[in-house]
């Protein structure tokens, strides 16, 4: 007895295969999208792969939840969809972390325990290290009054404009002193962090 072919195709196609079959993308576009998906998947947790990003972006276009605007190449549009999927993932993760890290201190619960909150002030060792570093910087610039004023202002958390106003320094002199300080610190093998 001859076998009749099935009336319905029972194969399950992945969104990428469907997009190829519908000629929404060609093989070269699919390769570009795979490369972009790998870039967007960097830094995501191992349970979210680049394939997941690509398949989800293609699915959203195929289902119609994301429609590409006229005149925008589909590869560029799908790259934007993958970027937004990555951002959506991180927003979800940050929301969960904020929810779980919140501590309700106003209303004690029946099963609550005491919580030891860390003291924000530095411990004696950190205070000593900070004092030694500050002394070393002051000795490094002991012959430069303007540099010492800038160090004092930065230590108080002042901005460049506030330092200039507090010590009556012109912006040009401030910038020159900062360059001088940077060069001297680099010569001494110290790190420099610009403001």
Domain boundaries, the chain: 15-99, 124-187
Would you say the pTM of this structure is higher than 0.85? no
Give 97-140 pLDDT, tens digit per residue.
Answer: 555 545 555 555 555 566 666 666 767 777 788 788 778 888 88
The Cα–Cα gap between 149 and 140 comes to: 13
Distance (Å, whole) CA 58 – CA 15 = 6
| Predicted confidence band of residue 173 (pLDDT cuts 50, 70, 90) | very high
**Residue 97, class by beta-carbon neighbours within 10 Å (0-12 exposed, 13-18 middle, 19+ buried)?**
exposed
What does the block give as tokens for 12? 């399950």
């Amino acid at each position: 007895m001859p076998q009749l072919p099935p009336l319905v195709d029972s194969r399950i196609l992945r969104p990428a295969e469907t997009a190829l079959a519908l000629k929404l993308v060609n093989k070269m576009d699919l390769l570009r999208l795979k490369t972009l998906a790998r870039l967007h998947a960097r830094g995501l947790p191992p349970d979210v792969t680049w394939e997941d990003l690509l398949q989800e972006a293609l699915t959203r276009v195929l289902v119609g939840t994301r429609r590409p605007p006229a005149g925008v190449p589909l590869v560029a549009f799908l790259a934007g969809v993958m970027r937004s999927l990555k951002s959506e993932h991180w927003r979800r993760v940050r929301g969960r972390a904020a929810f779980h890290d919140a501590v309700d201190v106003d209303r004690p619960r029946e099963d609550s325990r005491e919580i030891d909150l860390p003291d924000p002030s530095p411990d004696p060792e950190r205070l000593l290290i900070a004092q030694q570093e500050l002394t070393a910087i002051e000795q490094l610039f002991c012959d430069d009054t303007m540099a010492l004023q800038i160090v004092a202002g930065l230590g108080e958390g002042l901005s460049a404009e506030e330092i200039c106003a507090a010590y009556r320094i012109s912006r040009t002199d401030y910038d020159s002193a900062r360059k001088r300080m940077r060069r001297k610190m680099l010569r001494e093998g110290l790190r420099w962090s610009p403001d």
